[in-house]
Structure 1
C-alpha cells in the first residue's frame, strides 16, 4: 500500500500505541520515528542528546531548574537557542526536527506533540490511542516484569507527564477527542486490528480527497 499521509500518534502508556505505529508504518512502507526524533533534534540543534532524553515528554515549570540545566548545556546550544530556558530550547529544536522529518515525506511520528507541530500541514492525520486499564497493566507488567500495582503506578505517572507536557506546549488537551482527528481504543480491536483500522481510515480519506479533486 502507498500513502501520502503523515501520521501522528499520541498514546496512553501501555496502550500499544508505538507497536500500532510500527504495524501502520510497515503496511505503508514508511518510516516510524519515536526516540529517533530526539537524536535528529540533537544533531541539528547542537544541543547534547542527553538533554533531550531528560526532557522527553516531561515539562518543568521550575525556573531554577532551567537555569541549572542551561548552565549545563552551555557549549552545546547554537546561537538560535541561547536566550531561552533549556526546556524551551529542547522543545523548539524538537519542533523544528519534526517539521523537517515531515517535509521529507509520509511517515509515522509517535508522541512529542507532533500533531501540534504539523497542524498547518494538509496531509496529516492525528491519532490518539487509549486502552482499558486492565489491558495496559497486563502489557506493562509483562514487558517490564512488574507487579500489577507497580505497573499501574508507572502508567499513571507516565500519563501524567505526557499530559502535562502536551498541555504545557500546545493549545490543546492531551487525550481529549477534540485534540485529534481520530481516537481509538486498542482494547476493542487489539493492536493489529487497531493498526488495520487506521490503515483503512487513511486509505478511505485519501480516496475521498482524490475524488473531490477530480470533480473540481
Structure 2
C-alpha cells in the first residue's frame, strides 16, 4: 500500500496470471484520506497493451474508488515471464463538486502552489495454476473387486493360478478313488470265483471220501473268508 497525503493505493504491484490469447484483469483500490475531492489519472508506458477503466476520475472525501486494469490477449509469453511495463497514478486536490468529465490534463501539470502526488506501479506476471493431480477412485463398498490380468498385476496371476491348482488336485483325488474302487471290485470278483471253485472241489472230495471234510480244505476256506473280510472292510 502507498500512503500519500491524498490517496492510499493498494496494491502497488499489478499482478496478472498470464495466459496466452486471453484477456487478463486486476484491480486497484484508491482511498481518499482527506476531506477534499481528489482527481486522479492513470498512465502507462505501454498504452496499446492495457485498458484502464476508469483512467481518470474523482474520489469523494473519505471514500474509495476501484480501478480495473485489463491486459489485452497476448500471442506469446515474454522471456522468463519478466515484464518491464509500468504504471503511474497521479492525484491532485480538485474543486468541490467537480465531475469526472471536467478533469483535464492541465490539472495534473506541476505548477507553483499545486501539489501533484505520483505513485508508480509495477507489473508482475504470474504462471497459470497447475491442474490438480488425478486421484484414484476407491471402489464402492460392496462392489466386487476388479482383478486385472495385465503383465504387471501379480494379484490377478496368483488368483488364476490358485484356481488351476485346486482343480488339478480334485481330479487326481477322483482318479485315485476310482482306481481303488475298481481294484477292490476286481479282487472281490476274484475271491468269489475262488470260493465257488473251492466249494465245487469240496463237494468232489466229500463224495470221494464218503462225506468227510479234509483239514486242508477247511484251512483254505478259512483263509478265503479272512481275505474276503479284509477286502470288504477296505
Which TM-score tier does this pair reach, normalised by the shorter chain?
A: under 0.3
Larger radius of gyration: 2
What TM-score results when the alignment is normalised by the length of structure 2? 0.19
Q: Counting strand residues as a fraction of each chain, which structure ranks higher?
A: 2
Larger RCO, structure (CA 8 Å, separation 6 or more): 1
